[in-house]
């Protein structure tokens, strides 16, 4: 059974039982319909911005099992787009801040988490002297869609969610890049006519989409190389981040180790560089993070596969994968 972790506590109660108790606690105002599909629940969405939390047709899916980096309890409403961790789902049910949801879960189901933890030295969080951030209004100058997005399996929903745009002047797809605190640090570009990828080499690379993972208090994430790979996985409902290639930097390792994520799936490309990068990433993760590796087919990356093909890939425990790839 998957164990939810909330701050310093673990929640052993089945997610399904918690959802039914939420319905009783809320007196039927929300979660009026709950459909048990075995591996997930489909419920009426509790999001206040979606029919005031009282929709008639259940469109909100809550995973009851771990699935390729998506932890049990993760929810996604296919009607309004609300998504995130189970803590966020509880917060929406009570129309309250995340802190209230955490306190409610701990008070009703929490047990002390006796798992070993690793204390990390604090790092400087303030921007460096002269460091500047971009205003997101800069994105208003670009178009919202180009057929190349479909070619690369970037749905309109994903592009809207992560503000991916098209610049007709440079004939490039424009990807806004935030740091893990949600500050827009740079724009990267991918030509629609060639494989040319443009990135500001004077900027330190953050971990792409880590701000999204932290905002939603997600504890499991798939780490891949490219932004497009990460966006494709997001479109499949799999929380993902990207490290702009497989040569992960020490700063990126620091961001991952301090993100609150407790379980990562390394999903670098199935080539020699990807294997080398996987070894470096595994070696740099702190002891408190559980690591598995998605066994990519030789010469393939996420966008070479369909969602069904990706779901069938072998997941290998990190140390086991290292033993298999000693050369």
Confirm whether 120 is domain-assigned: no
What residues make up the domain containing 101? Answer: 4-112
Residue 117 reports pLDDT greater than 70: no
pLDDT of residue 52: 67
Confirm whether 195 is domain-assigned: yes
User: Are 143 and 183 in a shared domain?
Assistant: yes
User: Are 143 and 61 in a shared domain?
Assistant: no
pTM: 0.64
User: Are 81 and 45 in a shared domain?
Assistant: yes
Nearest to 84 by CA among 186, 161, 181: 161
Rounded to an integer, what distance in angstroms lies between the CA atom of residue 104 and that of residue 25?
Answer: 11
pLDDT of residue 267: 95
User: Are 191 and 85 in a shared domain?
Assistant: no
User: Are 312 and 172 in a shared domain?
Assistant: yes
User: Are 77 and 178 in a shared domain?
Assistant: no
Confirm whether 131 is domain-assigned: no
User: Are 195 and 304 in a shared domain?
Assistant: yes
pLDDT of residue 65: 83
Which range has the worst mean pLDDT, 3-7, 235-239, 299-303? 3-7
Which CATH number covers residue 188? 3.40.1360.10
User: Are 185 and 81 in a shared domain?
Assistant: no
Residue 114 reports pLDDT greater than 80: no
User: Are 158 and 107 in a shared domain?
Assistant: no
pLDDT of residue 310: 92
Total count of domains within the chain: 2
Which CATH number covers residue 58? 3.90.580
User: Are 102 and 243 in a shared domain?
Assistant: no
> 284 falls in which pLDDT band (50, 70, 90)?
very high
User: Are 264 and 165 in a shared domain?
Assistant: yes
Mean pLDDT along residues 109-130: 51
User: Are 152 and 201 in a shared domain?
Assistant: yes
């Amino acid at each position: 059974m998957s164990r939810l972790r909330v701050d310093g506590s673990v929640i052993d109660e089945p997610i399904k039982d918690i959802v039914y108790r939420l319905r009783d606690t809320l007196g039927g105002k929300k979660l009026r319909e709950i459909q048990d599909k075995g591996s997930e629940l489909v419920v009426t969405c509790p999001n206040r911005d979606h029919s005031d939390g009282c929709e008639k047709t259940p469109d909100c899916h809550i995973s009851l099992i771990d699935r390729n980096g998506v932890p049990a309890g993760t929810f996604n409403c296919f009607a309004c787009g609300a998504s995130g961790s189970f803590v966020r789902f509880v917060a929406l049910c009570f129309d309250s801040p995340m802190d209230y949801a955490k306190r409610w879960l701990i008070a009703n189901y929490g047990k002390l988490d006796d798992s070993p933890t690793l204390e990390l030295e604090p790092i400087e969080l303030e921007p460096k002297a002269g460091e500047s951030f971009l205003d997101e209004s800069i994105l208003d100058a670009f178009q919202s869609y180009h057929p190349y997005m479909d070619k690369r399996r970037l749905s309109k929903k994903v592009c809207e969610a992560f503000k991916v745009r098209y610049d007709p002047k440079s004939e490039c797809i424009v990807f806004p890049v935030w740091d893990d605190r949600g500050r827009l640090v740079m724009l990267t570009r991918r030509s629609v006519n060639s494989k040319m990828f443009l990135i500001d080499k004077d900027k330190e690379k953050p971990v792409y989409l880590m701000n999204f993972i932290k905002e939603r208090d997600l504890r499991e994430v798939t780490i891949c190389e490219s932004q497009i790979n990460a966006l494709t996985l997001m479109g499949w409902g799999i929380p993902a981040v990207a490290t702009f290639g497989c040569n992960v930097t020490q700063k990126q390792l620091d961001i991952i180790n301090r993100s609150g994520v407790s379980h990562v799936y390394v999903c670098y490309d199935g080539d020699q560089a990807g294997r080398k990068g996987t070894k470096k990433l595994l070696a740099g993760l702190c002891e408190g993070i559980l690591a598995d590796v998605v066994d990519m087919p030789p010469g393939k990356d996420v966008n070479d596969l369909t969602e069904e093909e990706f779901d069938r890939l072998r997941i290998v425990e990190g140390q086991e994968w290292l033993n298999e790839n000693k050369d």
